[in-house]
Amino acid sequence: METRAVDLDEHFFRHESGRLVAALTRVFGVHNLALAEDVVQDAFCRALEMWKLRGIPENPSAWLMATARNRAIDALRRERTARTFAPELSRLIESEWTLAPVVHELLGPQALKDDELRMMFSCCHPRLAEPAQVALILHILCGFSMDEVAAAFLSSRAAIEKRITRAKKVLASSKTLFELTAADFTARLSAVHRALYLLFNEGYHGASYESAIRVDLCREAIRLAGVLRRHPLASTPATLALGALMLLHTARLSARLDQAGELHSLFEQDRSQWDTELIAEGRRLLDISATGTELTEYHLEAAIAAVHADAASAEETDWPRIVELYDMLLAIRPSPVVALNRAIALAQQHGPERGLEAIRAIYGLDRLSDYPFYPAALGELELRSGRPELAREHFRAALSLARSPMERRFIERRIAACRDQSD
Amino acid sequence: MSEFLYIYRGGDSAGSSASPEEMQKTMQKWVAWMKELGDQGHLKAIGNPLEPTGKVVKINAKGKAITDGPHAEAKDLVGGYTIVEAKDLDEAAELSKGCPHFETGGFVEVRPIMQINM
């Protein structure tokens, strides 16, 4: 007896969960998000029970959708007297004649296309702080459980649960999913860009030291940026640039964080490990993002990543160009971290003393006081200026700020380098 | 070769609070396990999952009474079954140790299917 072996995408359940919750939420109304989540959870349990014995069906997405649809009809029938649903539905679900056909139509493949996108926009509600938006996106659209979100942010489950529960309340106050034709579409799109950017950064630079989690976060951000890109309304130059920036950075991920979980700075990475296909695709997106008049931070960050991708080594990098791009970035989005990166690039161009000078001149330097790579940068430049003792003090300060064993080991290696040089 | 019934009991997969990712992992372990049984020639019938609901019919003083069932406690509830082929009961029991059902808190009951030798 043979069981059928259909290969599922590695994160199929996670992605289907986001799509289904979004679609059911449109049908039930945003205030019934919890019901939509229950129905989807139930459909997944049935899929699990069935598929684990009978194997994965020919069209698993359709199977899940059909199961969720039947469960949705049951839920509507059960709850129609106790709850109000989406306005377009209220009258139609009262009659058994229209209930099933209407749900079939509302959850048909045609209608489903926009739901994921509309949910993404809904999660970026202006009344929600950015960390809440990101947590909500991870939880609803990426199917992360509370525990998985907590692990991603290196936060406690209780804190994340509070954040998500609060965010859902704000979401529920808006009854329907965000309309893509709404007047504030452009403003909301920027908020979505920002949330996806933060999600990506959490994976790329974040404190979580499990590399699987980091890769997952980067992958999810890339996937959702792709959802934006494939929609004619959302596929703006900024969307394209955001996608470019994610791909160009991800191309370096396996060199930045090696198999053993060791962190490597741009200067010591094995560049043969960089993913040339991702670089090519990132570059293509960056090229087509260069239309229109708006130059966004995503364009500039992607352009910086592209300059790095062009260089065979740190020494052969076009540092003057990078400094120039950082200057433009600082003009659009001033931040001490960007200024610190600019100072490091300047040190490459004009020597470590100029770099140190630039670091001392950073506006809002006190905001870097918890950031381990600030003293680490000072240490690096002092070391290069031939002052290993001073460098070591900076690295020690960095060590006390390290947020993970991975960062700690990285800084310890630098301390060892100071010792080598002073001997 | 003789036939044996694997009865999957208990386990927390139904109605669980597992995340989609965890569910997919569980599911894929089962698919791999079933494939392995099949590849080794032990799989007679993949069987079926059972709904957690049902009715129980019993005779009491008034005749046959129908109640909502099943009456087993959740930890013993039958969730499904599979028919395998093995040399003897020991081998069938040994084989069942690879079942992913144990990882979600369930257990497997192994019962020989009665053979009629004419």
Task: Give residue B103's domain range.
Answer: 2-112
Q: Which two tokens stand for residue A22?
A: 């979004």
Q: How far apart are CA B35 and CA B40, in angstroms?
A: 9
CA distance to partner chain B, nearest, from residue A142 (Å): 9
| pLDDT of amino acid A30 | 92
Q: How far apart are CA A179 and CA A195, in angstroms?
A: 18
The ipTM assigned to this model is: 0.89
A15: closest chain B residue by CA: B20
Quick check: is B35 in a domain?
Answer: yes
Quick check: is B88 in a domain?
Answer: yes
B23/A145 Cβ within 8 A: no
CATH code for position B21: 3.30.70.1060
| pLDDT of amino acid B13 | 52
A3/B43 Cβ within 8 A: yes
Return the closest-CA partner of residue A49 out of B8, B108, B113. Answer: B8
Quick check: is B117 in a domain?
Answer: no
A49/B24 Cβ within 8 A: no
Higher pLDDT, B19 or B73: B19
Structural domain count, chain B: 1
| pLDDT of amino acid A140 | 96
Q: Does B1 touch chain A (CB under 8 A)?
A: no
- Quick one: how far is CA A306 from the chain centroid? 20
3-state secondary structure chain B: CEEEEEEEEECCCCCCCCCHHHHHHHHHHHHHHHHHHHHCCCEEEEEEECCCCEEEEEEECCEEEEEEECCCCHHHCEEEEEEEEECCHHHHHHHHCCCHHHHHCEEEEEEECCCCCC
Q: Does B40 touch chain A (CB under 8 A)?
A: no
Of B15, B19, B45, the CB nearest to A143: B19
| pLDDT of amino acid A6 | 59
Quick check: is B90 in a domain?
Answer: yes
CB A179 within 8 A of CB A118: yes
Q: How far apart are CA B63 and CA A242, in angstroms?
A: 72
| pLDDT of amino acid A96 | 83
| pLDDT of amino acid A176 | 87
- How many C-beta atoms surround the C-beta of residue A128 within 10 A? 21
Q: A91 vs A27, A94, A302, CA distance in Å?
A: 13, 6, 50
Higher pLDDT, B1 or B34: B34
Return the closest-CA partner of residue A202 out of A194, A220, A214. Answer: A214
Q: Which residues of chain A have pLDDT under 70?
A: 1-6, 110-111, 207, 209, 423
Residue B15 has pLDDT above 70, yes or no: no
Q: A301 vs A207, A295, A330, CA distance in Å?
A: 21, 11, 11
Domain segments of chain A as ranges: 12-112
Q: How far apart are CA B32 and CA B43, in angstroms?
A: 13
Quick check: is B48 in a domain?
Answer: yes
| pLDDT of amino acid B115 | 84
CA distance to partner chain B, nearest, from residue A275 (Å): 26
- pLDDT, one tens digit per residue, over A105-121 is 888 776 677 899 999 99
Of A44, A52, A145, the CB nearest to B30: A52
Q: Does B56 touch chain A (CB under 8 A)?
A: no
- Classify A195 in phi/psi space as left (phi over 0), alpha (psi -120 to 50) or beta: alpha
B46/A54 Cβ within 8 A: yes
Q: How confident is the model at residue B30 (pLDDT cuts 50, 70, 90)?
A: very high
Mean residue pLDDT of chain B comes to: 90
| pLDDT of amino acid A423 | 67
| pLDDT of amino acid A3 | 45
Q: Does B32 touch chain A (CB under 8 A)?
A: no
